[in-house]
Structure formats: C-alpha cells, structure tokens
Structure 1
Amino acid sequence: MNINLPYHRYHFALLMSLFDTLRAESVLMTQTPEESNILFLERFEELITQLEAGDQDALYSGQEILCQIISRYPQVAHMIPRDLLWYFGGDCLHYMPDEEIAQYQLLDEHQAEAEARGEDFDWEQARLLLMSEQLRNS
C-alpha cells in the first residue's frame, strides 16, 4: 500500500478528517469512561501511523477501528464516510447494503480499467459521477 497514490491519499484524508472529528466530539466522553476513549483514540492514531508507513496490517486495524466506532459510539457512526467502509472492507462491509456494495464494485472495475489503459483515475470524481447518475435514474 502506497499512501502517495491518489486512491490511498484520498481515503487517508477521509480517515484523518474522521479522526479529527471524533477527537473533538465531546459525545465520546459522555458515553464511555474517559480512559476507554483515550485508549481508543490512541489505537486510532496507531492506525494512522500504520497507514503512513504503508503497513498492510493497517487494513485490518482500520476494520477494527471503524467497527468499534459503529458498536461503541453509534451516535457518531453516521460520521463515517461510506468510502472508508469500502476501503477497509472485511467486517466493515456488513454495514453496507448490497446495492451500495455493487456501486463500489463498479467503481473498482472502472478504476482497474483506467489503470490498465495507463490513465489516471480520480476515485472521488468517479464516485460522485456514479452517484449522481443513479439519482437521475431513480
């Protein structure tokens, strides 16, 4: 995993934004003991460090972190960008409906086709285009 590739950089930015939001979110402190929240945020910081280092295990750590947010802090689960659930995959996919998974699979296919042609692929732009097309068709 190369954090300097646009696909990974985009998702890393989403993850950093989520981390900053959760760290600032006072609701975390009111729902569970403070020590537990501190340990959770420390694990989240370790995930960020793993991603920056290109550690493949970061994908498993990311799954654990996102699933913990959903189970431990359901009041802020809506803050998790859907793209992160897809990016980390695994257990995170349990929180995505089949239709949404199909959309992300289609995006993956478009990305693979573009890369096979030697073209750049803007994940965020392609996702927004696909979502807007589906809204028009519904």
Structure 2
Amino acid sequence: MTTPLSYHAYHLALLQSLYDTLRAQSALLEQVPEESNELFMERFNELLEQLEQGDHDSLYLGQDILCQIISRYPQIAHLIPRDLLWYFGGDCLHFMPDEEIAQYQLLDEHRADAEARGEAFDWQQARQLIQSN
C-alpha cells in the first residue's frame, strides 16, 4: 500500500504536469507573441520553484497564472485540473460552478477532520468518492 501524497505535494504534482503539458503544446500557444510566452513560462517555473521550497505566499502567483492560462490560451483551459482551481482559490473560483465549490468545501472539511485526528488524508481518493456519489 502506498502512502498518499500530502495535500501540497499532490497539487504540486498536478501543477508540474500542467506546466509540462503547456510546454508540449507550444504550437497552440502561437497566438500570443513568443516573448510573452517565454516570460509567462518563466513565471510559471518560478511558481513551481517557490512551491517546491514551501513558499505558500506564492498562492497569489498561482491564482494569477491559472487565470492567465484561461484568458490567454482558452483553447487549452480545459487541461487545467479542477483541483488546482480550488487549491489556488481566489479569482480561480470564478471558473467553478457553485455545486463544484460545495464538493470541494466538503472535501476540505473531511481533510481538516482527518488532520485534527492525526490521520493521513488521501485527497485524490476522497475526491473520487465524493464525485461518484
């Protein structure tokens, strides 16, 4: 049995995957000037580095980057994992319907309860259970 990733590590892995996907989709990003794409990807990489170092103050940068993906590259906005919109919160929540927000609020309550009991919480498994109901 594998140990579930921490809440932070799980979302960091999703963010890294999104970064890799965007890099691989460079042909789709051509509608924005190349130098603008380079600067955007540099900022995205900085976000990854900050989060890897445990800098949770970078959550605002994450909100900005996800919102920019949606506005700059709408053709690939569907590639953003919904979990990342919830994780970064703020303006990202505007892209989530109320029902979905309610599901994530319930997940956060379950996570807080598990942490209060000193138990490990598998975010991904819990999300799948709630979404299947």
Band the TM-score falls in, shorter-chain normalisation:
over 0.9
What is the CA-CA distance between 1:120 and the residue it aligns to? Answer: 0.7
1:136 equivalent in structure 2: none
1:119 equivalent in structure 2: 119
Higher-RCO chain (CA-CA 8 Å, sequence separation at least 6): 2
What is the CA-CA distance between 1:42 and the residue it aligns to? Answer: 0.3
1:27 equivalent in structure 2: 28
Q: Report the secondary structure of 1:9's partner residue.
A: helix
Query: Separation in 2 of the partners of 1:31 and 1:100?
Result: 31
Structure 1 segments of 4+ aligned residues over 2 angstroms from their partners: none
Query: Separation in 2 of the partners of 1:132 and 1:82?
Result: 15
Query: Separation in 2 of the partners of 1:57 and 1:109?
Result: 22
Query: Separation in 2 of the partners of 1:57 and 1:42?
Result: 18
Q: Deviations over 1:23-81 (max 9, x none)?
A: 110201x2111111011000000000110111122100000000000001000000000
What is the CA-CA distance between 1:118 and the residue it aligns to? Answer: 1.4
Q: Unmatched 5+ residue regions in structure 1?
A: 134-138
- Identity across matched positions, percent: 76
What is the CA-CA distance between 1:105 and the residue it aligns to? Answer: 0.1
How many corresponding residue pairs? 128
TM-score where L is the length of structure 1: 0.90
State the superposition RMSD in angstroms. Answer: 0.9
Q: Deviations over 1:82-132 (max 9, x none)?
A: 000000000100110110000000000001111111111000000001101
TM-score where L is the length of structure 2: 0.94
Query: Separation in 1 of the partners of 2:56 and 2:108?
Result: 19
